[in-house]
């Protein structure tokens, strides 16, 4: 019997969709699902939602719900993390302080000053989780869904013997989007995608073995509804020749080209028709609205009878990976792993997102080679910012946090070095209670 621990089970959308997918595999239908959260009310809702799925599918699975992380992790085979440190009252400052200095943020959960401070807050509890795993389930695997993905996985991978990989749905989501754009059945598409989380690119994208990039370029150039759907990503594709994996809202923050002036934000970041438009603080506003209504929505969902359609398997990687690890069919996915010469022109040991093959023997990352120079020029800059942030978080070096922010592409496009230092000081003061690894805050 497989035991799967969900740490942060109160993230209801993730928990319910992952449980739904897991239980579609015969090998996992009698699993023990250990749900853990620090919020008792959210945990109760998660337990009820999971029990509802089990009942609707008539599965022999067991459920444990607990506020005790030790209880959830003991003897687990797989651990899934979907945690968030602090409410919007905490992480709103990640976005609002940079805006005061002129750095306009859309999402703020991955990189830049917003992502760096989210990482600094989130690493201590994530390290506690892996330390508990080392004691309580040393043979388990950690599948992380928590952002900022690359920095968290990069830090954990060099601090524990527990196998850690990070999972994100942007690769498979973008691959399907591109297939729809060119009218291709997705089962006829093959691709190779690599880079870093939220900044990977499709190095190959083929339809029945033929290069599909000419068809994608034609669709982007000739069909306004497609260009307008992903303005930032389409501009990046038209200029860099390879398609990026993450949405336009996210991507607009990761480079110096789209958010450094109001006229550019207006032109490229506010009129997209796809998910995650580029407006300032979009995700913060969405979370604030959700916090006001989530109980009503959850109660409505719990009252609704599930249909067979509701129990169908989705596209998230985790269930397929767990099935493979437990001896089921091997599976290929894009995961976040240490760069052991997988991408030859990115730093050794950095967390990269590459094709990975998983079976009962564990994870087997695939060699990619060198990225095209026009891609690595951008990616390498962001990798080095992340490497500085990881080193700073593990050593308590506040000045290195400031230096990481100095090199963030968007921040550097907007602010002077002295302005960045002043901004970072303010962000440290705001986050002081959540940064136990920094015994002294001195960026001078």
**pLDDT digit string, tens, across residues 164-194:** 999 998 999 999 999 999 999 999 999 999 9
Q: Which domain holds residue 44?
A: 3-167+302-325
pLDDT bucket at 316, cuts 50 / 70 / 90: confident
Residue 349 falls inside a structural domain: no
Top-confidence residue, 301 or 395: 395
Domain membership flag for residue 256: no
Query: Within a domain: residue 175?
Result: no
Lowest mean pLDDT, pick from 4-13, 232-241, 293-302: 293-302
Mean pLDDT of 256-280: 91
> Please, what is the average pLDDT of the chain?
96
- Residue 287 confidence class, pLDDT cut points 50, 70, 90: confident
Is 182 a member of any domain?
no
For residue 301, pLDDT beyond 90: no
pLDDT level of residue 117 (50, 70, 90 thresholds): very high
Identify the residue whose tokens are 């000081």. Answer: 425
- What integer pLDDT is reported at residue 430 of this predicted model? 96
Q: Cα-atom radius of gyration of the chain, to the nearest Å?
A: 21
The string of pLDDT tens digits covering residues 47-89 is 999 999 999 999 999 999 999 999 999 999 999 999 999 899 9
Q: Are 221 and 181 in contact (CB under 8 A)?
A: no
List the structure tokens of 412.
């550097």
pTM above 0.85, yes or no: yes
CA dihedral 403, 404, 406, 410 (to 10 degrees): 180
β-partners of residue 365 are 356
> Could you give the number of structural domains in the chain?
1
pLDDT band, very low/low/confident/very high, at 360 (cuts 50, 70, 90): very high
pLDDT at residue 368 greater than cutoff 90: yes
d(CA 22, CA 25): 6
The whole-number pLDDT of residue 90 equals: 95
Beta bridge partners of 191: 205
Catalytic choice (93, 169, 198, 341): 169
> In the structure encoding, which two tokens stand for residue 254, read together?
């990761």
Q: Is residue 371, in this structure, part of any structural domain at all?
A: no
Does residue 41 lie in a domain region?
yes
Give the whole-angstrom CA distance, residue 291 versus residue 294: 6
Task: Give the closest residue to 18 by CA, choosing from 280, 372, 319, 423.
Answer: 319
> For residue 408, how far is the Cα from the chain centroid?
19
Residue 298: per-residue pLDDT:
87
Q: Is residue 215 predicted with pLDDT exceeding 80?
A: yes
User: Which of 262-276, 302-316, 349-363: highest mean pLDDT?
Assistant: 349-363
Task: Tell me the CATH number at 117.
Answer: 3.40.50.720
pLDDT of 252 higher than 80: yes
Contacts of 171 by beta carbon, 8 Å cutoff, 6+ apart:
193, 200, 245, 334, 353
Confidence of residue 392 (pLDDT cuts 50, 70, 90): very high
Instruction: Answer for the pair 283, 109: CB distance below 8 angstroms, yes or no.
Output: yes
**In the predicted model, what is the mean pLDDT of residues 223-246?**
97
Cα pseudo-dihedral 185, 191, 194, 196, rounded to 10:
0
C-alpha span between 275 and 326 (Å, rounded): 35
Q: Answer yes or no: is pLDDT of 276 > 80.
A: no
Please check the confidence at residue 232 and state whether its pLDDT lies above 90: yes
At 277, the pLDDT band (50, 70, 90 cuts) reads: confident
**Residue 292 clears pLDDT 80, i.e. is over it:** no
pLDDT at 278: 84
> Is 176 a domain residue?
no
The pLDDT, as a whole number, for residue 291 is 77
Query: How many other C-beta atoms can be found within 10 angstroms of the C-beta atom of residue 369?
Result: 11
* Average of per-residue pLDDT across 220-225: 98
Question: Has residue 151 been placed in a domain?
Answer: yes
Is 169 one of the catalytic residues? yes
Question: Quick check: 56 and 88 in contact, CB under 8 A?
Answer: no
What pLDDT, on a 0 to 100 scale, did the predictor assign at position 416? 98
The pLDDT of residue 240? 98
CA distances from 9 to 22, 32, 59, 131 (A): 15, 14, 20, 19
- Phi and psi, residue 73, nearest 5°: -85, -25
């Amino acid at each position: 019997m497989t035991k799967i621990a969900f740490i942060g089970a109160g993230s209801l959308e993730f928990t319910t969709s992952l449980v739904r997918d897991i239980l579609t595999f015969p090998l996992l239908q009698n699993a023990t699902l250990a749900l853990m959260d620090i919020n008792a009310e959210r945990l109760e809702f998660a337990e009820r939602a999971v029990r509802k799925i089990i009942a609707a599918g008539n599965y022999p699975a067991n459920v444990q719900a607990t506020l005790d992380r030790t209880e959830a992790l003991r003897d687990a085979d797989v651990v899934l993390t979907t945690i968030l440190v602090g409410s919007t009252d905490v992480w709103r400052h990640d976005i609002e302080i940079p805006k005061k200095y002129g750095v306009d943020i859309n999402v703020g959960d991955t990189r830049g000053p917003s992502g760096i401070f989210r990482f600094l807050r989130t690493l201590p509890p994530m390290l506690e989780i892996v330390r508990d795993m080392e004691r309580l389930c040393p043979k388990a695997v950690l599948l992380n869904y928590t952002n900022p993905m690359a920095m968290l996985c990069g830090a954990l991978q060099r601090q524990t013997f527990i196998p850690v990989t990070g999972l994100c749905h942007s690769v498979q989501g973008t691959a399907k989007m591109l297939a729809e754009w060119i009218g291709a059945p997705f089962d006829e598409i093959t691709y190779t995608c690599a880079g870093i989380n939220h900044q990977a690119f499709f190095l190959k994208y083929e339809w029945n073995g033929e290069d599909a990039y000419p068809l994608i370029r034609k669709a982007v150039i000739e069909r306004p509804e497609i260009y307008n759907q992903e303005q930032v990503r389409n501009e990046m594709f038209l200029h860099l020749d390879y398609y990026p994996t993450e949405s336009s809202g996210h991507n607009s923050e990761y480079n110096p080209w789209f958010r450094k002036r109001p006229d550019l934000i207006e032109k490229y970041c506010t009129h997209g028709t796809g998910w995650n438009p580029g407006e300032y603080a979009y995700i913060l506003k969405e979370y604030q609205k959700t916090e006001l209504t989530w109980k009503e929505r959850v109660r409505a969902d719990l009252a609704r009878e599930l249909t067979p359609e509701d129990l169908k398997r989705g596209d998230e990687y985790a269930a397929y990976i767990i099935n493979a690890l437990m001896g089921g069919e091997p599976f290929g996915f894009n995961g976040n792993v240490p760069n052991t010469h997988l991408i030859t022109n990115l730093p050794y040991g950095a967390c990269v997102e590459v094709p990975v093959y998983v079976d009962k023997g564990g994870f087997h990352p695939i060699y990619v080679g060198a990225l095209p120079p026009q891609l690595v020029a951008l990616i390498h800059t962001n990798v080095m910012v992340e490497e500085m942030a990881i080193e700073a978080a593990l050593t308590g070096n506040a000045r290195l946090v400031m230096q990481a922010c100095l090199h963030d592409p968007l921040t550097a496009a907007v602010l002077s070095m002295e302005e960045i230092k002043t901004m970072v000081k303010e962000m440290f003061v705001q986050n002081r209670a959540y940064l136990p690894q920094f015994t002294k805050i001195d960026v001078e």
